[in-house]
């Protein structure tokens, strides 16, 4: 299919883009505006995903800490208790929280690279959609993250 949209390697504000793959072509203004809204929503969800990963990590750390504390409390009693068993590397790698974190990380990296590819289209409107989505996502989720020790903010 011959596309009316051509790729420009300079900054522009045309409302005609082929976004990520051939089937996502925004060659009319309503389709382009819809694409910008979809990209903003994806970016907002990306910020939410980062929050969910941090929240799950904190929840898992708190659960592990409470298990250790309860074992310490029981070891001080007069009853004979077995020493806590160390988990092997495979048990640590294949526990459910780590598997879920790994899957969420893979989704986060995929979305991150897709957003980077959209940025590389050099379209001001698409950049603005990503910036507004990230800003709205941080506005909604960032205040929660500031109240707790969380992950890093270094990279998308």
According to the model, what pLDDT value does residue 34 have? Answer: 96
pLDDT digits (tens, 9 = 90+) for 128-149: 999 999 999 999 998 876 655 5
Task: State how far the Cα of 118 lies from the Cα of 124, in Å rounded to an integer.
Answer: 11
pLDDT digits (tens, 9 = 90+) for 98-110: 899 999 999 999 9
Show the DSSP H helices in the chain as ranges.
29-75, 89-93, 96-119, 124-146
Q: Is this prediction's pTM over 0.85?
A: no
Higher-scoring residue by pLDDT: 22, 150: 22
Question: How would you class 23 by CB atoms within 10 Å of its CB: exposed for 0-12, middle for 13-18, buried for 19 or more?
Answer: exposed
């Amino acid at each position: 299919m011959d596309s009316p949209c051509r790729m420009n390697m300079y900054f522009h504000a045309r409302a005609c883009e082929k976004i990520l793959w051939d089937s996502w072509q925004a060659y009319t203004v309503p389709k382009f505006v819809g694409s910008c809204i979809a990209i903003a929503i994806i970016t907002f969800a990306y910020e939410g995903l980062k929050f969910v990963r941090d929240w799950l990590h904190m929840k898992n750390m708190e659960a592990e800490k409470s298990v250790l504390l309860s074992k310490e409390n029981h070891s001080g009693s007069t009853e004979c208790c077995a020493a806590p068993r160390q988990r092997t590397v495979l048990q640590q790698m294949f526990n459910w929280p780590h598997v879920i974190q790994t899957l969420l990380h893979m989704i986060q990296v995929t979305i991150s690279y897709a957003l980077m590819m959209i940025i590389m289209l050099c379209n001001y409107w698409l950049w603005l959609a990503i910036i507004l989505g990230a800003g709205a996502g941080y506005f909604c989720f960032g205040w929660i993250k500031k109240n707790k020790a969380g992950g890093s903010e270094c990279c998308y």
